Structure 1
């Protein structure tokens, strides 16, 4: 049976992952400072992205995400293990992304992945210290209209 603290920790971690998605989907890169630790390592290389520190991650996202006319990050089915002030999780991310095409036609890229995260509690708040993407699939649907 989970204690009230364990339930609270899990809910706070799930909320943190939603805040990450919100920051990315709205292009508010500075909100990521409230999601990650200052010394976080973020590895998006499994899906063709960057790997590095938080500054590298924010720069990569700020350059790449605006090239997609539409996208959403849905995070779900988190398997979270809490051990005091640290935690780990494996979370599904479904990320449809629209890529611009010619003559109004676009390509819908469906990205399925897992986030493998390590969390730490910093000054009473959970933060992501390490995030690694694990690829499940990438599927293209061409001729999609906007």
Structure 2
């Protein structure tokens, strides 16, 4: 199945909506973004892997005031897979309450759902070195 322009818009909205919902504290709406059995890989950030929407919600609440106040998602690239899934890669800029910020890469596996698209797997990797670490290799 080839991705339509409508699919691409819907998937783009899905990925971008994450920042809006989390920043607004609308964690009860995470089911609009993720499959019920989502795998949310925070290993690179030192937090392991979470499975399921409720664990993501609970983890965000546990982090409390250490959560970013702004999740700014940019540079989205969608790649259709032969099995109908979509790989989405985007960059995220997290702004903290004290004004510091960090950069991450989101790697998502997005699948069709009955009422649109949902993220089945998300891996978040911190960007810690310029040029992808090329200068330190």
- TM-score normalized by the length of structure 2: 0.81
List structure 1 runs of 4+ shifted beyond 4 angstroms.
none
Larger relative strand fraction: 1
Quote the offset at 1:134 in angstroms.
1.3
Task: State the partner residue of 1:87.
Answer: 86
Structural RMSD (CA)? 2.1
Structure showing greater Rg: 1
Task: State the partner residue of 1:32.
Answer: 30
Count of residue pairs brought into register by the alignment:
126
Q: Gaps spanning 5+ residues in structure 1: where?
A: 99-106, 139-146
- TM-score normalized by the length of structure 1: 0.77
Quote the offset at 1:23 in angstroms.
1.3
Spell out, residue by residue over 1:43-85, the C-alpha distance to the aligned partner (whole angstroms, 9 max, x if none): 1222233421122211001121x31486101111111012463
Among candidates 69, 72, 75, match of residue 73 of structure 2: 75
Q: Gaps spanning 5+ residues in structure 2: where?
A: 130-137
Task: State the partner residue of 1:114.
Answer: 105
1:89 alignment partner, SS class: strand
